[in-house]
Every structure is written in structure tokens, then in C-alpha cells.
């Protein structure tokens, strides 16, 4: 058995804190969701002075999508529509509040965190449709949100990065206004559990059986109402906005992050790529615990800012 990977400062404490409510317990999906929201305060990132946070809803036919709007300063005019991680099944606005708070601070942008419906209750197509509706709503509400229509980007981490890529491709094809940039953090860009890299990585945050279960759940729900093919299975990546990809050294999906960057470059898309050293999957939620994680978040914000100005 391979030795555990060396992690950046604070990551071990973060992992222990996240798992504190689940150790030694067999939980249903609904229980896991509740515990993640109940215990989110344990990993909360302090709100910077001057930041305001408001909850609202995006109303579409037959549904309301919760959104949480983070404004770092009154003067901010740029925005990021943010799709959280959680393997399509467990993440929420609440459990990813720390990441959204830190992202708004680092990018100096209003962050609209999207409480999209999750699998298996929703279908894969429904997740994309909800993201499209939220991006369109953000543009429509730009005046009330005190943001500029031409300074709206998209961001996502993990499964949220997958949704973000699909959203931006759909926007390029006319489903919504095209964002000015996309920020993709340790994303899933393929739906293929046979990847050798998945078995070779020693990521303590995302065990292989969990990743395989995520892929199986996606496939099961995709049969009912198919979404477009995953980004790495598409040949139509031209015309996308500037893209920033932040991968993690120990992540099982590090390889496909690099592959997606290569594919985007081959299609003429401006890209910026970085691998965060000594980091596992999901490390940006550890900003409360780790100076190294905060540094990576700041790098992400710095990289995005020129496109948001």
C-alpha cells in the first residue's frame, strides 16, 4: 500500500474537521447532506470587513433555485456565477460557504452561489438547465445587482467545474450570454471510471469507491434525460472565453484537468493552468485552516481579475 501523500499545512486538520460528524457511521445520502450543512460553521471562513451576503431565488417555470449573493465591497462591479462541488449529490450553498466567501474576496467580485438541484433527485439535464437559467438571471438582474453585464464570469469546483464547463459551452451556443471568463478548480471533465490515474492517485479526500459511485450515479440519471457529452468527449470547444484551471497535485482528476487545458489550447482558447502542490481534491474549502490554501485562492483571484475588469 502506498504511503499517504504529504499534505500542505492545515489540510489534515481540515479533513479531520469535515469528517468529524461522520466517523464510524453508515449514513444515507439525506443524512450526509444534513450533517454537511449542520457542521458547515466548523469550516467557515470569516467574512471580510465590508462584505454583505444576501439570499434570494432564481424563478423559472416550476421551480425556484436558491442563490446566495456575496458582495465583497460596495464598489465591486464584476461577478462570478459559482457552481459548488459535492459529486453532484451532496454539496450545497451552506456547505460551500467558506469557498464562496474566500472567492469573492480574492477575485474582488460579487459571487452568486447557486443552490442547484442534485442527483439522484434531478437529472443531469436539469442541473445544466438550472445553471443556464441562473446565468441568464444574473445578466437580466445586473442593474439590481449593481454589476456590469460584460463583467460576469463563471466558476466551479469539482462537480461544479463540470457543470460550469457545460454551462459555458451552452452559453457559447446561444442558451445564455457568454461569460467573460471561466474559473475551473480540480474539475471532473470526463465520466470514465476506467481512467488509470484514478487508481494511481493517493488522494485522502476523494476515495476511489466514492468517485466510482459519483460516476455511476451520473450515468444512471443521464439515461433518463441526457445532457450533452462531457467536455473531454466533445470536439466543439472553440469560441470559449478565457479559462483558468487550478488543479491539485494529489487529486485523482489531476490528469483530466491537464488534458482539458490542452484541448482548450488546441481549440484556440486562452488558458491559464496551475497545479497546487501538496494539495488533495477539494482543498479550497480549507481556507480557514491553511495559509497554503489561502495562497492558492489568492492566485485564482489574481488570475481572474484581469478578465473581470
Q: What are the extents of the domains in the chain?
A: 11-18+30-308
Q: State pTM to two decimals.
A: 0.97
C-alpha distances (whole Å) from 16 to each of 205, 218, 234, 258 are: 10, 28, 38, 29
Pick from 129, 121, 136: nearest CA to 89: 121
Catalytic residue among 129, 157, 281, 290: 281
Asked if the bond preceding 120 is cis, omega within 30° of 0, the reply is: yes
Lowest mean pLDDT among 21-25, 27-31, 297-301: 21-25
Q: What architecture is domain 11-18+30-308?
A: 3-Layer(aba) Sandwich (3.40)
The pLDDT of residue 8 is 98
Residue 24 pLDDT more than 90?
Answer: no
The pLDDT of residue 277 is 98
The pLDDT of residue 4 is 82
Active site residue 251: yes
- What average pLDDT does the chain have? 97
Active site residue 84: no
What is the C-alpha to C-alpha distance for residues 145 and 128, in angstroms, rounded to an integer?
A: 23
Active site residue 281: yes
Catalytic residue among 158, 203, 250, 290: 158
Catalytic residue among 92, 133, 251, 290: 251
DSSP string, 265-308: HHTT--EEEEEETT--TTGGGGTTT-HHHHHHHHHHHHHHHHHH
Mind listing the pLDDT tens digit for each residue in 173-231?
Answer: 999 999 999 999 999 999 999 999 999 999 999 999 999 999 999 999 999 999 999 99
What is the C-alpha to C-alpha distance for residues 25 and 11, in angstroms, rounded to an integer?
A: 22
What is the C-alpha to C-alpha distance for residues 42 and 98, in angstroms, rounded to an integer?
A: 10
Q: Kindly state the average pLDDT of the residues 146-164.
A: 98
The pLDDT of residue 2 is 61
The pLDDT of residue 80 is 98
Q: Kindly state the average pLDDT of the residues 158-172.
A: 98
Buried b (16+ CB within 10 A) or exposed e, 256-274: bbbbbbebbeeeebebbbb
CB neighbours (10 Å) of residue 255?
18
Q: Kindly state the average pLDDT of the residues 157-181.
A: 98
Amino acid at each position: 500500500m502506498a504511503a499517504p501523500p504529504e499534505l500542505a499545512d492545515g489540510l489534515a486538520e481540515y479533513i479531520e474537521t469535515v469528517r468529524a460528524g461522520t466517523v464510524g457511521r453508515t449514513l444515507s445520502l439525506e443524512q450526509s447532506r444534513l450533517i454537511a450543512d449542520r457542521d458547515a460553521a466548523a469550516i467557515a471562513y470569516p467574512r471580510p470587513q465590508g462584505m454583505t451576503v444576501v439570499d434570494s431565488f432564481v424563478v423559472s417555470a416550476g421551480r425556484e433555485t436558491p442563490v446566495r449573493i456575496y458582495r465583497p465591497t460596495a464598489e465591486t462591479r464584476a461577478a462570478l456565477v459559482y457552481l459548488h462541488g459535492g459529486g453532484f449529490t451532496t454539496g450545497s450553498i451552506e456547505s460551500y460557504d467558506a469557498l464562496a466567501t474566500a472567492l469573492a474576496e480574492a477575485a474582488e467580485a460579487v459571487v452568486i452561489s447557486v443552490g442547484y438541484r442534485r442527483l439522484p433527485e434531478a437529472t443531469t439535464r436539469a442541473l445544466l438547465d438550472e445553471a443556464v437559467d441562473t446565468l441568464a438571471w444574473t445578466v437580466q438582474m445586473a442593474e439590481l445587482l449593481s454589476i456590469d453585464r460584460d463583467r460576469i464570469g463563471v466558476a466551479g469546483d469539482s462537480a461544479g467545474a463540470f457543470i460550469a464547463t457545460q454551462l459555458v459551452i451552452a452559453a457559447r451556443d446561444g442558451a445564455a450570454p457568454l461569460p467573460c471568463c471561466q474559473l475551473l478548480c480540480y474539475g471532473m471533465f470526463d465520466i470514465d471510471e476506467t481512467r488509470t490515474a484514478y487508481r494511481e492517485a493517493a488522494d485522502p479526500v476523494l476515495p476511489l469507491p466514492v468517485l466510482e459511485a459519483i460516476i455511476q450515479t451520473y450515468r444512471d440519471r443521464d439515461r433518463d434525460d441526457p445532457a450533452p457529452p462531457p467536455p473531454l468527449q466533445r470536439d466543439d470547444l472553440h469560441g470559449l472565453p478565457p479559462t483558468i484551471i487550478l488543479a491539485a497535485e494529489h487529486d485523482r482528476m489531476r490528469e483530466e484537468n491537464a488534458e482539458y487545458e490542452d484541448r482548450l489550447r488546441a481549440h484556440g482558447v486562452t488558458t491559464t493552468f496551475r497545479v497546487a502542490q501538496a494539495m488533495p481534491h477539494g482543498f479550497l474549502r480549507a481556507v480557514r485552516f491553511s495559509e497554503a490554501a489561502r495562497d492558492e485562492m489568492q492566485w485564482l483571484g489574481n488570475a481572474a481579475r484581469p478578465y473581470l475588469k
